[in-house]
Amino acid sequence: MAAKKKIAKKINERTKPLKGISDIRRFFYRNETPIYFISATNFNLLGADEWVKGFKFICYIECFDGQHPNVFSPDEIPHDEFQSIEDINNYMLEHKQVVDYIQSRAKGKNKGKALFLMFDEKTEKLAKKIGLDVAFPSAKLRNDLDNKVITNRVAEKAGVPCVPNVLTKISSYKDLENKGDKLGHDWVVQTPFGDSGHTTFFIKTEED
């Protein structure tokens, strides 16, 4: 009976709302689930290991000469040329040293949770294969919402005001003038996908 009460108390502590920074800090300080940020480097979440118990970085690039206690970087093995961050993450999840490291820290069947800067459906399959839960919505949903056109439509349906815009294809400067006339004559043109700044174009004239 006492054991059941203890279990019930733990479940209650895990599910009750966190109210404020102190609750959040306490919750993660008591964390017992291994959590991994898997990426090229640990810079995107640098310092998270000071907040979250059991938090480790698994990185392709070792930036700390082995001096960081919470960074694990496997030996390099032959691989195809990386084309993206997703390629790096998938390489890491297939690396025997990484798999062994995760297995060595597992608590029973609970291998832990994985965080990524970028990931795809292959990443999800590889993580599942070694027993890691990906702590994000699905790659498919993430990819859909990364499309600026879809994001705009979701915002409008949710009643979130958007910058005045036209969602359309542009074939020429004349076409842009015709379709963007109601927006003025200093345009910001964006393609649906791309890294910040790389697919944003500021156009005033045909030369632009």
Three-state SS at 65: coil
The share of the chain scoring above pLDDT 90, in percent, equals 65
Band of pLDDT at residue 57, cut at 50, 70 and 90 = very high
The answer regarding whether domain 31-137 maps to CATH 1.10.260 reads no
The token duo for 129 is 């294969």
The token duo for 42 is 């640990």
pLDDT at 183 over 80: yes
Residue 199's pLDDT is 82
Mean pLDDT, the chain, rounded, equals 89
Q: What is the pTM of this model?
A: 0.74
- DSSP E strands in the chain: the ranges are 35-39, 55-59, 71-72, 113-116, 133-134, 187-190, 200-203
Band of pLDDT at residue 45, cut at 50, 70 and 90 = very high
Question: Radius of gyration over alpha carbons of the chain, in Å?
Answer: 23
- How many helices (H) and strands (E) would you count in the chain? 8, 7
Band of pLDDT at residue 77, cut at 50, 70 and 90 = very high
The CA–CA distances, whole Å, from 31 to 28, 39, 63, 171, 173 equal 5, 22, 26, 54, 56
pLDDT at 198 over 80: no
Residue 151's pLDDT is 85
Asked which of 99-103, 113-117, 173-177, 189-193 is least confident by mean pLDDT, the reply is 189-193
pLDDT at 58 over 80: yes
pLDDT at 11 over 60: no
Residue 7's pLDDT is 56
Residue 9's pLDDT is 57
Burial 191-207 (b: 16+ CB within 10 A, else e): eeeeeeeeeeeebeeee
> Measuring CA to CA, which residue among 78, 43, 73, 44 is closest to residue 59?
73
- Cα–Cα distance between 175 and 167 in angstroms, integer? 13
